[in-house]
Structure 1
Amino acid sequence: MTSDHHTAGGSRAVLVGSFELPLSRREAFRLFSARGEELWVPGWVPRFFVAGADDLEVGTVWQTSGDDGRPTTWVVLDCEAGVSARYARVAEGWTAGTVTVELADLADRCLVRVAYDLTALTTDAAADLDRFADGYADYLGEWRTTILDHLASGGAMPDPV
Protein backbone atom coordinates (compact mmCIF):
# COMPACT_ATOMS: atom_id res chain seq x y z
CA MET A 1 0.00 0.00 0.00
CA THR A 2 1.20 3.47 -0.77
CA SER A 3 -0.03 6.88 0.26
CA ASP A 4 1.11 10.44 -0.02
CA HIS A 5 -0.51 13.77 0.68
CA HIS A 6 0.08 17.46 0.43
CA THR A 7 -1.80 20.31 1.97
CA ALA A 8 -1.70 23.93 0.97
CA GLY A 9 -2.38 26.37 3.79
CA GLY A 10 -4.08 23.63 5.80
CA SER A 11 -7.30 23.93 3.81
CA ARG A 12 -6.82 21.49 0.93
CA ALA A 13 -5.57 17.90 0.89
CA VAL A 14 -4.65 15.92 -2.21
CA LEU A 15 -4.32 12.31 -1.08
CA VAL A 16 -3.33 9.34 -3.22
CA GLY A 17 -2.94 5.76 -2.12
CA SER A 18 -3.28 2.24 -3.44
CA PHE A 19 -3.77 -1.34 -2.38
CA GLU A 20 -4.17 -4.73 -4.03
CA LEU A 21 -7.15 -7.09 -4.03
CA PRO A 22 -7.28 -10.78 -5.09
CA LEU A 23 -9.87 -9.98 -7.78
CA SER A 24 -9.75 -8.83 -11.37
CA ARG A 25 -10.50 -5.14 -11.90
CA ARG A 26 -13.81 -6.13 -13.55
CA GLU A 27 -14.80 -8.17 -10.48
CA ALA A 28 -13.73 -5.48 -8.02
CA PHE A 29 -14.98 -2.38 -9.82
CA ARG A 30 -18.56 -2.22 -8.55
CA LEU A 31 -17.34 -2.57 -4.96
CA PHE A 32 -16.46 1.14 -5.34
CA SER A 33 -19.88 2.26 -6.58
CA ALA A 34 -22.60 3.64 -4.30
CA ARG A 35 -24.53 0.36 -4.18
CA GLY A 36 -21.41 -1.81 -4.15
CA GLU A 37 -20.07 -0.09 -1.06
CA GLU A 38 -23.27 -1.05 0.78
CA LEU A 39 -21.96 -4.63 0.69
CA TRP A 40 -18.79 -3.95 2.68
CA VAL A 41 -18.82 -0.47 4.26
CA PRO A 42 -20.45 -0.51 7.72
CA GLY A 43 -23.16 2.14 7.94
CA TRP A 44 -22.97 3.07 4.24
CA VAL A 45 -26.54 3.64 3.09
CA PRO A 46 -26.79 5.71 -0.10
CA ARG A 47 -30.08 7.53 -0.63
CA PHE A 48 -30.92 8.12 -4.28
CA PHE A 49 -33.23 10.87 -5.46
CA VAL A 50 -34.33 9.15 -8.68
CA ALA A 51 -35.89 5.68 -8.47
CA GLY A 52 -33.74 3.03 -10.15
CA ALA A 53 -30.82 5.43 -10.70
CA ASP A 54 -27.69 3.83 -12.20
CA ASP A 55 -24.97 4.47 -9.62
CA LEU A 56 -22.30 4.53 -12.35
CA GLU A 57 -24.07 6.87 -14.78
CA VAL A 58 -22.55 10.32 -15.15
CA GLY A 59 -24.79 12.82 -13.39
CA THR A 60 -26.31 10.38 -10.89
CA VAL A 61 -26.68 11.95 -7.42
CA TRP A 62 -27.05 10.32 -4.00
CA GLN A 63 -26.51 11.20 -0.36
CA THR A 64 -24.96 9.45 2.60
CA SER A 65 -24.62 10.44 6.24
CA GLY A 66 -21.30 10.42 8.02
CA ASP A 67 -20.71 9.16 11.55
CA ASP A 68 -21.39 12.75 12.64
CA GLY A 69 -24.78 12.74 10.88
CA ARG A 70 -23.61 15.35 8.36
CA PRO A 71 -25.17 14.75 4.93
CA THR A 72 -22.68 14.15 2.12
CA THR A 73 -23.85 14.59 -1.46
CA TRP A 74 -22.15 12.59 -4.21
CA VAL A 75 -22.31 13.07 -8.01
CA VAL A 76 -20.83 10.73 -10.63
CA LEU A 77 -18.53 12.94 -12.73
CA ASP A 78 -16.84 10.33 -14.95
CA CYS A 79 -16.99 6.57 -15.26
CA GLU A 80 -15.22 4.04 -17.45
CA ALA A 81 -16.73 0.74 -16.31
CA GLY A 82 -14.12 -1.62 -14.93
CA VAL A 83 -11.38 1.01 -15.05
CA SER A 84 -12.17 4.23 -13.19
CA ALA A 85 -14.84 6.36 -11.56
CA ARG A 86 -14.66 9.94 -10.36
CA TYR A 87 -17.14 11.39 -7.92
CA ALA A 88 -17.80 14.89 -6.61
CA ARG A 89 -18.23 14.78 -2.83
CA VAL A 90 -19.68 17.62 -0.75
CA ALA A 91 -20.05 17.17 3.01
CA GLU A 92 -22.50 19.93 3.85
CA GLY A 93 -20.72 22.91 5.41
CA TRP A 94 -17.54 20.87 5.94
CA THR A 95 -15.52 19.71 2.90
CA ALA A 96 -15.90 19.57 -0.87
CA GLY A 97 -13.89 17.92 -3.60
CA THR A 98 -13.50 14.76 -5.63
CA VAL A 99 -12.83 11.07 -5.08
CA THR A 100 -11.30 9.04 -7.90
CA VAL A 101 -10.99 5.25 -7.94
CA GLU A 102 -8.86 3.60 -10.63
CA LEU A 103 -8.32 -0.13 -11.05
CA ALA A 104 -5.64 -1.97 -13.00
CA ASP A 105 -5.20 -5.68 -13.54
CA LEU A 106 -2.05 -7.33 -12.25
CA ALA A 107 -1.14 -10.99 -12.80
CA ASP A 108 -3.77 -12.60 -10.53
CA ARG A 109 -5.20 -9.57 -8.73
CA CYS A 110 -5.87 -5.87 -9.21
CA LEU A 111 -4.39 -2.63 -8.00
CA VAL A 112 -6.90 -0.13 -6.59
CA ARG A 113 -5.74 3.50 -6.61
CA VAL A 114 -7.84 5.95 -4.59
CA ALA A 115 -7.36 9.71 -4.77
CA TYR A 116 -9.15 12.26 -2.59
CA ASP A 117 -8.85 15.97 -3.42
CA LEU A 118 -10.70 17.79 -0.65
CA THR A 119 -10.96 21.40 0.43
CA ALA A 120 -12.05 22.31 3.95
CA LEU A 121 -14.85 24.87 4.15
CA THR A 122 -14.24 25.93 7.78
CA THR A 123 -11.34 26.13 10.24
CA ASP A 124 -12.68 23.13 12.18
CA ALA A 125 -12.99 21.19 8.94
CA ALA A 126 -9.38 22.06 8.08
CA ALA A 127 -8.18 20.49 11.34
CA ASP A 128 -10.34 17.42 10.65
CA LEU A 129 -9.01 17.21 7.09
CA ASP A 130 -5.44 17.33 8.38
CA ARG A 131 -6.21 14.38 10.67
CA PHE A 132 -7.78 12.50 7.73
CA ALA A 133 -4.70 13.19 5.61
CA ASP A 134 -2.35 12.00 8.36
CA GLY A 135 -4.29 8.72 8.66
CA TYR A 136 -4.95 8.20 4.95
CA ALA A 137 -2.71 5.13 4.53
CA ASP A 138 -4.41 3.48 7.53
CA TYR A 139 -7.83 4.48 6.12
CA LEU A 140 -7.11 2.68 2.84
CA GLY A 141 -5.68 -0.24 4.80
CA GLU A 142 -9.05 -0.50 6.55
CA TRP A 143 -10.79 -0.53 3.15
CA ARG A 144 -8.59 -3.44 2.04
CA THR A 145 -9.05 -5.37 5.29
CA THR A 146 -12.82 -4.86 5.29
CA ILE A 147 -13.10 -6.00 1.67
CA LEU A 148 -10.90 -9.06 2.31
CA ASP A 149 -13.00 -9.94 5.38
CA HIS A 150 -16.14 -9.57 3.26
CA LEU A 151 -14.70 -11.90 0.60
CA ALA A 152 -13.49 -14.44 3.19
CA SER A 153 -16.94 -14.58 4.79
CA GLY A 154 -18.57 -15.36 1.44
CA GLY A 155 -20.28 -11.95 1.36
CA ALA A 156 -22.37 -10.91 -1.62
CA MET A 157 -20.53 -9.52 -4.62
CA PRO A 158 -21.87 -7.18 -7.27
CA ASP A 159 -21.93 -8.39 -10.87
CA PRO A 160 -18.67 -7.82 -12.77
CA VAL A 161 -18.69 -5.02 -15.34
Structure 2
Amino acid sequence: MRLTGALTVPLPPDEAFRLFTARGEELWVDGWQPRFPVPVEDDTEPGTVFETGAHGEATVWVVLARERGRSISYARVTPGSRAGTVSVTLEPAGRPAREYGEASEVTVTYDLTPLTGTAARELEDFAAGYPAFLASWQSAIETWLAGGGNRPA
Protein backbone atom coordinates (compact mmCIF):
# COMPACT_ATOMS: atom_id res chain seq x y z
CA MET A 1 0.00 0.00 0.00
CA ARG A 2 1.47 3.34 -1.07
CA LEU A 3 0.27 6.48 0.73
CA THR A 4 1.49 9.97 -0.12
CA GLY A 5 0.48 13.23 1.50
CA ALA A 6 1.87 16.60 2.46
CA LEU A 7 2.09 19.02 5.34
CA THR A 8 3.51 22.50 5.75
CA VAL A 9 6.19 23.25 8.34
CA PRO A 10 6.86 26.90 9.25
CA LEU A 11 10.63 26.51 8.85
CA PRO A 12 12.87 26.56 5.77
CA PRO A 13 13.80 23.08 4.44
CA ASP A 14 17.35 23.13 5.84
CA GLU A 15 15.93 23.63 9.36
CA ALA A 16 12.77 21.52 9.01
CA PHE A 17 14.81 18.51 7.81
CA ARG A 18 16.04 17.73 11.32
CA LEU A 19 12.44 17.28 12.54
CA PHE A 20 12.11 14.15 10.37
CA THR A 21 15.18 12.34 11.66
CA ALA A 22 15.29 9.71 14.40
CA ARG A 23 16.48 12.14 17.07
CA GLY A 24 14.63 15.13 15.68
CA GLU A 25 11.23 13.49 15.99
CA GLU A 26 11.81 13.22 19.74
CA LEU A 27 11.28 16.99 19.86
CA TRP A 28 7.63 16.87 18.76
CA VAL A 29 6.35 13.26 18.79
CA ASP A 30 5.01 12.09 22.15
CA GLY A 31 6.52 8.74 23.09
CA TRP A 32 9.08 8.69 20.25
CA GLN A 33 12.28 7.34 21.76
CA PRO A 34 14.64 5.84 19.19
CA ARG A 35 17.20 3.35 20.48
CA PHE A 36 20.44 2.87 18.58
CA PRO A 37 21.95 -0.63 19.01
CA VAL A 38 25.30 0.86 17.95
CA PRO A 39 26.10 4.43 19.01
CA VAL A 40 25.98 6.91 16.13
CA GLU A 41 26.97 10.53 15.85
CA ASP A 42 24.91 11.25 12.73
CA ASP A 43 21.46 9.66 12.86
CA THR A 44 20.91 10.50 9.17
CA GLU A 45 23.88 8.52 7.85
CA PRO A 46 22.70 5.85 5.38
CA GLY A 47 22.94 2.44 7.00
CA THR A 48 22.13 3.76 10.49
CA VAL A 49 19.85 1.36 12.38
CA PHE A 50 17.50 2.31 15.19
CA GLU A 51 14.52 0.81 16.97
CA THR A 52 11.31 2.33 18.26
CA GLY A 53 8.51 1.10 20.47
CA ALA A 54 5.82 3.66 19.64
CA HIS A 55 2.19 2.56 19.98
CA GLY A 56 3.28 -0.64 21.68
CA GLU A 57 4.98 -2.01 18.55
CA ALA A 58 8.67 -2.76 18.15
CA THR A 59 9.90 -1.45 14.80
CA VAL A 60 13.37 -1.63 13.28
CA TRP A 61 14.38 1.27 11.02
CA VAL A 62 17.31 1.64 8.61
CA VAL A 63 18.28 4.94 6.98
CA LEU A 64 18.37 4.19 3.25
CA ALA A 65 19.36 7.56 1.80
CA ARG A 66 19.47 11.24 2.63
CA GLU A 67 20.17 14.55 1.04
CA ARG A 68 20.61 17.01 3.90
CA GLY A 69 17.88 19.61 3.97
CA ARG A 70 15.99 17.95 1.10
CA SER A 71 15.08 14.31 1.73
CA ILE A 72 15.50 11.23 3.87
CA SER A 73 14.20 7.69 3.42
CA TYR A 74 13.94 4.74 5.75
CA ALA A 75 13.26 1.03 5.55
CA ARG A 76 11.06 -0.10 8.42
CA VAL A 77 9.99 -3.52 9.67
CA THR A 78 7.48 -4.23 12.40
CA PRO A 79 7.94 -8.02 12.79
CA GLY A 80 4.76 -10.01 12.32
CA SER A 81 2.88 -6.94 11.07
CA ARG A 82 4.27 -4.88 8.18
CA ALA A 83 7.39 -3.89 6.28
CA GLY A 84 8.25 -1.18 3.80
CA THR A 85 9.69 2.27 3.39
CA VAL A 86 9.02 5.83 4.51
CA SER A 87 10.31 8.77 2.46
CA VAL A 88 10.26 12.45 3.42
CA THR A 89 10.97 15.19 0.88
CA LEU A 90 11.19 18.90 1.72
CA GLU A 91 10.73 21.79 -0.73
CA PRO A 92 10.41 25.52 -0.18
CA ALA A 93 6.70 26.25 0.19
CA GLY A 94 7.01 29.45 -1.82
CA ARG A 95 5.53 31.53 0.97
CA PRO A 96 6.90 32.89 4.22
CA ALA A 97 6.12 31.48 7.62
CA ARG A 98 5.24 34.26 10.04
CA GLU A 99 8.13 34.36 12.46
CA TYR A 100 10.46 31.73 11.03
CA GLY A 101 11.05 33.00 7.52
CA GLU A 102 10.47 30.55 4.70
CA ALA A 103 8.09 27.61 5.13
CA SER A 104 8.55 24.06 3.81
CA GLU A 105 6.19 21.76 1.96
CA VAL A 106 6.92 18.28 3.28
CA THR A 107 5.82 15.24 1.27
CA VAL A 108 5.64 11.98 3.20
CA THR A 109 5.26 8.64 1.43
CA TYR A 110 4.65 5.35 3.22
CA ASP A 111 5.01 2.24 1.04
CA LEU A 112 4.00 -0.66 3.28
CA THR A 113 3.29 -4.35 2.83
CA PRO A 114 1.17 -6.18 5.40
CA LEU A 115 2.63 -9.43 6.71
CA THR A 116 -0.65 -10.82 8.05
CA GLY A 117 -4.37 -10.53 7.40
CA THR A 118 -4.78 -8.50 10.57
CA ALA A 119 -2.02 -6.15 9.42
CA ALA A 120 -3.80 -5.73 6.06
CA ARG A 121 -6.93 -4.54 7.86
CA GLU A 122 -4.86 -2.22 10.07
CA LEU A 123 -3.20 -0.74 6.98
CA GLU A 124 -6.60 -0.08 5.44
CA ASP A 125 -7.53 1.87 8.58
CA PHE A 126 -4.21 3.72 8.45
CA ALA A 127 -4.85 4.65 4.81
CA ALA A 128 -8.32 5.96 5.62
CA GLY A 129 -6.86 8.20 8.32
CA TYR A 130 -3.67 9.20 6.50
CA PRO A 131 -4.63 12.84 5.79
CA ALA A 132 -5.57 13.33 9.46
CA PHE A 133 -2.36 11.55 10.51
CA LEU A 134 -0.23 14.06 8.57
CA ALA A 135 -2.35 16.96 9.82
CA SER A 136 -1.54 15.80 13.36
CA TRP A 137 2.18 15.99 12.51
CA GLN A 138 1.76 19.57 11.30
CA SER A 139 -0.19 20.50 14.42
CA ALA A 140 2.34 18.85 16.75
CA ILE A 141 5.27 20.65 15.09
CA GLU A 142 3.46 24.00 15.22
CA THR A 143 2.56 23.43 18.88
CA TRP A 144 6.15 22.54 19.71
CA LEU A 145 7.46 25.65 17.94
CA ALA A 146 4.81 27.91 19.57
CA GLY A 147 5.77 26.49 22.97
CA GLY A 148 9.29 27.77 22.56
CA GLY A 149 10.79 24.65 21.02
CA ASN A 150 14.38 25.15 20.06
CA ARG A 151 14.79 25.56 16.34
CA PRO A 152 16.64 22.56 14.90
CA ALA A 153 20.33 22.98 14.29
Question: Normalised by the size of structure 1, how large is the TM-score?
Answer: 0.88
Gaps of 5+ in 2: 97-102
The answer to whether the 8 Å contact 1:57/1:79 transfers is yes
State the SS of the aligned residue for 1:133: helix
Pairing 1:9-158 to 2, within 5 Å after superposition: 13-67=1-55, 69-107=56-94, 108=96, 109-158=103-152
The answer to whether the 8 Å contact 1:94/1:120 transfers is yes
> Partners in 2 of 1:106 and 1:72 — Cα distance?
31
Cα RMSD over matched residues? Answer: 0.9
Q: Which runs of 4+ in 1 moved over 4 A?
A: none
The answer to whether the 8 Å contact 1:30/1:158 transfers is yes
| Equivalent residue, structure 2, for 1:5 | none
1:104-138 Cα deviation digits (max 9, x unpaired): 01232110000000000000000000000000000
> Partners in 2 of 1:75 and 1:157 — Cα distance?
25
> Partners in 1 of 2:38 and 2:151 — Cα distance?
24
> Partners in 1 of 2:10 and 2:151 — Cα distance?
13
**% identical equivalent positions:** 51
Gaps of 5+ in 1: 1-12
Q: Give the number of aligned pairs.
A: 146
State the SS of the aligned residue for 2:150: coil
Q: Which amino acid aligns with 1:95?
A: R
The answer to whether the 8 Å contact 1:75/1:88 transfers is yes
The answer to whether the 8 Å contact 1:88/1:98 transfers is yes
